[in-house]
Structure 1
């Protein structure tokens, strides 16, 4: 069976386009053959991306760690804090593995072995799926809360939310196994390389799964939920109770801005047999942009706090204020909807 050694845009932060044809070359480098130097990080673009990833790592660990501490230990348990705790955990785990990628990019050699090569790929894919799935769940939860307020008030519990989160992580883990399965390591001279070793159409299958379950279906679901929400809110004249929807809109918009370029580059790569330097740079930039999503969410909570521009509260207080305000606003929105529906039923 013919093997294809490939470290493409679906390589989960592997910046080396390793190919079997390069085995007899003394050096792998970006150029006309679409290959990449093992010493690639001598180039300015790579150094910039390394610095960018270091910033993402530091801010992601601090920001998501703060959200985990606040939602997990400081705030009262609720359905909403359960959602945001899961999202922060996903981003925190991913950020914790970034030093492996940074080291690989700097040295041009994977020194962590086969297991960590696969695990690094698994964590990135897990982060993508779990993040978008939790955003889908939050959107559906918001839609149900507004559309069926009485049912939601009686059925929305922390225990049920926890079960949904566990199921979410289980499904995300299953979907993250195939990309990790095809990760392999090989030696090229004095360098070890972590790359994708696909067979025949397996690459297309992985990209198709990721685009379908990690982007297309979630996008359609979220779009449908928001369409229902907008119509319901306008019908009940609840325009003042929009705080939770502003936060969610920012979170979802940020996710798609960060991940859409990565998905596009992955699809375009399927029809390419050789990569130009420009395409390699596109892979590098879109992978780092996808990575950036993991540190942005906590800062969105802080910037959405009412008093951000007026008062100089601590960063942790802003995060707690934004999440707590989101929870209280969602409750008020449910109460108003319930009241309007009850009055309508009485009138009828």
Structure 2
């Protein structure tokens, strides 16, 4: 079985005192002392994520001129918005330990986190690569860096993200136990392969590509006499926030593969915190657009929508210059 967002499905066939008769340990059972705190945090994530990403979509889609950079940002906002839109179903499941929404929503809601993970990190690869090309090959970039090509890259990104999310859609299912319906994953012997593939393709390789692009940018900018770091602040903040939010989750998922060698309670707690941090990444982007590189009090005195528009417009103007 698999570690999914809101439940821990042990893949071993051995049943011990920590597991139910189905070999499933629900991290977020109603009796858990941490359930209410996690519910509150996820409700905040949902509300802020829906509001903030809606604002970014509205500003980038309707109030600003369509450019390559706005395409990156609006695509990232759409990815985060979709996850936050499905998050309430999982919050209900956290509270009740019962899934009344049917198998279709069981598959979609539980796969939303992985779709968001893949699409977000692939978009960060696109943003990093785009910045790198702009600095290394300014003339070629000016002639070939077009909106249509950016749309094509985003479409390919979504196709690849959906493909890597297919295992979660295929093996996520509902099971009836009396009056209670569980939404869980059963990968069987495929568990280790799925976890490692998800980690390597959806995290390790993209992060290495991002680090390479950022290293090239840092070396190139040092050699420039008149250099400005403004167009790279948002990119750097997005990358760092994604890394900070997802490293704990991947760490404990990898430890869970061979959970018998580790403390089960530590893994359970780590998965709870890791999953919540991973979800928090979905609302951080709008926050970064608003507050990064500016005095906090001065930012609060300005309207939220105009502040985001100014932040992105400044980023675009500097990059174009």
Same fold (TM over 0.5): yes
Q: Is the CA contact (8 Å cut-off) linking 2:9 and 2:24 kept in structure 1?
A: no
Structure 2 residue 319 is matched with structure 1 residue 326:
no
Residues 183, 41 of structure 1: alpha-carbon distance in 2 compared, 3 angstrom cutoff: same
Q: In 2, are the aligned partners of 1:134 and 1:168 still within 8 Å (CA)?
A: yes
Q: Partners in 1 of 2:295 and 2:166 — Cα distance?
A: 43
Q: TM-score, normalised by structure 2?
A: 0.92
CA distance in 2, matches of 1:133, 1:140: 10
* Residue in structure 2 matched with residue 118 of structure 1 by the alignment: 107
The alignment partner of 2:98 has SS state of coil
Cα distance, 1:131 vs structure 2: 0.3
Q: Distance in 2 between matches of 1:15 and 1:98?
A: 17
TM-score, length-scaled by structure 1: 0.85
Deviation of 1:307 after TM superposition, in Å, equals 5.8
- Contact map agreement 1:67 1:298 (CA 8 A) in 2: yes
Runs of 4+ in 1 over 6 A off after TM superposition: 18-22
CA contact (8 A) 2:7 2:27 kept: no
Match of 1:230 in 2: 218
**Among residues 245, 266, 273, which one is paired with 2:253 in the alignment?**
266
Rg larger in 1 or in 2? 1
Counterpart residue number, 1:254 = 241
CA distance in 2, matches of 1:269, 1:101: 22
Pair 1:12 & 2:1 matched? no
| Bigger RCO of structures 1 and 2 (CA < 8 A, at least 6 apart) | 1
Which residue number corresponds to residue 151 of structure 2?
A: 162
Aligned 1:1-348 pairs, distance under 5 A: 6-8=1-3, 11-14=4-7, 28=20, 35-36=25-26, 40-200=29-189, 202-239=190-227, 241-272=228-259, 276-304=264-292, 306=294, 308-310=296-298, 312-332=301-321
Gaps of 5+ in 1: 1-5, 333-348
Q: For 1:71 and 1:305, how far apart are their aligned partners in 2?
A: 20
Q: Give deviations 1:9-67, integer Å, cap 9, x for gaps.
A: xx122356698777xx9x959xxx984488x2343311100100000000000000000
Distance across 1 between alignment mates of 2:62 and 2:258:
49
The number of aligned residues is 317
Q: CA deviation at 1:205?
A: 1.3
- Is 142-151 or 209-218 further displaced after alignment? 209-218
Indicate if the aligned counterparts of 1:28 and 1:37 stay in contact, CA closer than 8 A. no
Distance 2:27 2:133 in 1: 52
Partner SS state of residue 310, structure 1? helix
